[in-house]
Amino acid sequence: MKRIQKMSPHLSNKIAAGEVIESPASVIKELVENSIDANSTQIQVEIEGGGRRSLKISDNGDGIHPDDIPLIFERHATSKLLKDEDLSHIASLGFRGEALASIAAVSKVQLLSRVMALPTGFKIQLLRGETFHQETIAANPGTTLIIEDLFYNLPGRKKFLKSEKSLNRDIHEVMNHFALSHPDIQFNYVNEGRLIFNTPGGNDLPGVIYTLYGRELFEHLLAFETQIGDVQITGYASDLGYYRGNRSLQYLFVNRRYVENRILLDSLNEAYRALIPGHKFPVFFLYLSVDPGVVDVNVHPSKLVVKIEGEEGIGLELSGTFREELYRKESHSRGVIAKEPTPPANAPREISTETIQPPLYDQLSLKETRGVKERQEIQTLSRHILDRNQEAARDKYQVFRNLNYVGQVLGTYLIFEKERAVFFIDQHAAHEKILYEGFMKRYATDSLDSQGLVTPEILGLSHEEIRLIENRMQDFSRFGYDLEIFGPSDLLVRGIPSLFTLDQAKTLLVELLDNYRQEDYRYEKLTEEAIIQHSCKKAIKGNSRIEPLEVEKLLEDLMTLEDPLTCPHGRPLIVELSSRELEKIFYRIQR
């Protein structure tokens, strides 16, 4: 390993400044990155008190030479990046030479290290960045850092830190990222003395996924490998029989670094659209290998958000390839083999790259599809309504006229009779659609209402986020936020969109920020998504009783809608079962 040197001030100024150390999770991120950079094959992380009380990171890497001791905790002292040109070709993870300095300034630090070449190691202890103890010790090669009482001298920061539970959640996520991005390293993660995971190492990525997420998910994974232009893409993705309620299991790694890139993730989600239920999300572990020169990692101080040259094109092609693969899988399982054999551990199924034509049902806007059989049933039942509407488009309200309410079943479906048919309305979907169109109309005509908070909330954000908000103040107020910048890292929230609860409004604010970080975000699309989500949460839940009077009102409202036939996610909200179909079900007639 190279020895530590100070960078030129010219270079250090070039590097995105910013608070590296925002939370225990970010400390762990920096320290584990250091261990990785030091060629470790085993890294152990031990946490107490959400990382605020203590953090211990031990590795079996190259170690630090005792002659470098005076430089370790110096700002901009690094062994990793010394020439200006290096900045555009960053291969190692750390590159700012300020992590240890920043951490030492806000905590009590002990550092133990030994290089292989020397018979002994050293231990130093620091407080407020000043060394107060140093000794020679016997130790195995490698480095251990113990950080205690993080932010002890920054009471302000401590106050804005999240609950221990959410600190642990963030740390866990950071550890997941490392385990997934470095299957060659054996990670051992212990929290409050409890082993959380111990990955196998030895480049066994399937083994890592199995260790982190268990068998259920593992058995639904498809392996893939493809090349788009100069970008090598490999990874695992869930098949159509497995999905999650949010995007949290959608991972992207570029050159073995966990990153966020909406464009690529969105395009992968797009590949599953209409193949799994709306509001559900596939799982993927996507690994891109690209020339470091085409990745801009310096976008954000936390080094998470990257831009990749040509990412739109890559996303499009990736989405297309994926969709074909998924169709292919789907059409196979419709054949003789109803159930595929369980793959042996550590060997997810391969999918080849040959392509097939998407089946016709892609043209139908039916989204609820757990299995093919179920899909076909839904298709038969709702075809009448959608077809009738599509070809004729004469009177989309016709179906709702003169419906005779029979009752509610399963606490969710309203049953009606008319002429020689039975009609089912999904009460949740119907109500959701009514709310949705209402909101959209209000939003289109003017801005959303704001609701003042009795006690304004102070949100602690990063400098960069505060700057973003400052630049987007108009967008936020159009949305119904009443915000005031209260310092370099504090935001005063005086009012929130009246559509939302405070918690939702805070989440949305952060989501908006994430989106604004991308240059090509689409404000309108985002707004629509937020409104869909909100309508969904606010709508009458499935599984609740409804009075006949409310049913009447629901029908009336449906007849005022622009599009009364599908829910905001595109699923049918009314389904018809003709007497003929009933007769078929009872075999009173043949086909």
Ligand X SMILES: Nc1ncnc2c1ncn2[C@@H]1O[C@H](COP(=O)(O)OP(=O)(O)O)[C@@H](O)[C@H]1O
The closest alpha carbon to 497, from 542, 540, 449, belongs to 449
Q: How far is the CB of 147 from ligand X (least distance, A)?
A: 12
Work out which of 50, 51, 97, 348 binds ligand X, going by CB under 6 A.
97
> Does residue number 58 form part of the binding site for ligand X (CB under 6 A)?
no
> Does residue number 219 form part of the binding site for ligand X (CB under 6 A)?
no
Interstrand relation of 490-497 and 257-259 (parallel, antiparallel or unpaired): unpaired
Contacts with ligand X in 4-23 (CB under 6 A)? 4
How many residues interact with ligand X (rule CB under 6 A)? Answer: 23
> Which does residue 573 bind out of ligand X, Mg ion, none, counting CB within 5 to 8 angstroms by kind?
none
Give the CA diameter of the chain: 92
Selected range binding ligand X among 62-70, 224-232, 276-284, 392-400, rule: CB under 6 A:
62-70
Q: How far is the CB of 33 from Mg ion (least distance, A)?
A: 5
Q: How far is the CB of 72 from Mg ion (least distance, A)?
A: 11
C-alpha separations of 161 from 168, 207, 277, 485 in Å: 12, 34, 36, 19
Work out which of 27, 64, 536, 575 binds ligand X, going by CB under 6 A.
64
> Does residue number 62 form part of the binding site for ligand X (CB under 6 A)?
yes
Q: Which residue is nearest to ligand X (CB)?
A: 94
Cα distance between residue 95 and residue 77, in whole Å: 10
Closer to ligand X at the Cβ: 13 or 544?
Answer: 13
Closer to ligand X at the Cβ: 76 or 329?
Answer: 76
Q: How far is the CB of 126 from ligand X (least distance, A)?
A: 13
Q: Which residue is nearest to Mg ion (CB)?
A: 94
SS3 sequence of 402-435 = CCEEEEEECCCEEEEEECCEEEEEEHHHHHHHHH
Cα distance between residue 449 and residue 442, in whole Å: 9
Closer to ligand X at the Cβ: 37 or 311?
Answer: 37
DSSP class of residue 193? Answer: T
Closer to Mg ion at the Cβ: 99 or 318?
Answer: 99
Selected range binding ligand X among 31-39, 189-197, 286-294, 519-527, rule: CB under 6 A:
31-39
> Which does residue 62 bind out of Mg ion, ligand X, none, counting CB within 5 to 8 angstroms by kind?
ligand X
Closer to Mg ion at the Cβ: 27 or 99?
Answer: 99
Selected range binding ligand X among 27-35, 130-138, 250-258, 428-436, rule: CB under 6 A:
27-35
Tokens coding 276: 């799994």
Q: How far is the CB of 103 from ligand X (least distance, A)?
A: 8
Contacts with ligand X in 98-157 (CB under 6 A)? 98-101, 143
The closest alpha carbon to 463, from 488, 492, 493, belongs to 488
Closer to ligand X at the Cβ: 35 or 369?
Answer: 35
| Chain center to CA of 29 | 18
Closer to ligand X at the Cβ: 37 or 465?
Answer: 37
Closer to Mg ion at the Cβ: 94 or 282?
Answer: 94
Strand partners, 235: 224, 286
> Which does residue 255 bind out of ligand X, Mg ion, none, counting CB within 5 to 8 angstroms by kind?
none
DSSP class of residue 390? Answer: I
Closer to Mg ion at the Cβ: 177 or 367?
Answer: 177
Q: Which phi and psi angles does 189 have, rounded to 5°? A: -120, 120
> Does residue number 231 form part of the binding site for ligand X (CB under 6 A)?
no
Selected range binding ligand X among 78-86, 170-178, 181-189, 374-382, rule: CB under 6 A:
78-86
44 CB contacts (<8 Å, ≥6 apart)?
56, 57, 58, 59, 187, 188, 189, 190
426 CB contacts (<8 Å, ≥6 apart)?
412, 413, 542, 567, 571, 572, 573, 574, 575
> Does residue number 34 form part of the binding site for ligand X (CB under 6 A)?
yes
Cα distance between residue 574 and residue 536, in whole Å: 17
DSSP class of residue 84? Answer: G
Q: Are 557 and 462 in contact (CB under 8 A)?
A: no
CB atoms near residue 506 (< 10 Å)? 15
The closest alpha carbon to 550, from 442, 401, 428, 441, belongs to 428
Cα dihedral value 224, 229, 232, 234, nearest 10:
-20
> Which does residue 95 bind out of ligand X, Mg ion, none, counting CB within 5 to 8 angstroms by kind?
ligand X
Closer to Mg ion at the Cβ: 34 or 566?
Answer: 34
Work out which of 25, 44, 59, 196 binds ligand X, going by CB under 6 A.
59
The residues of the shown chain that bind Mg ion, judged by CB under 5 A, are 34, 94, 99
Closer to ligand X at the Cβ: 129 or 278?
Answer: 129
Can you give the binding site for ligand X, defined by CB under 6 A? 4, 30, 34-35, 38, 59, 61-64, 72, 78-80, 94-101, 143
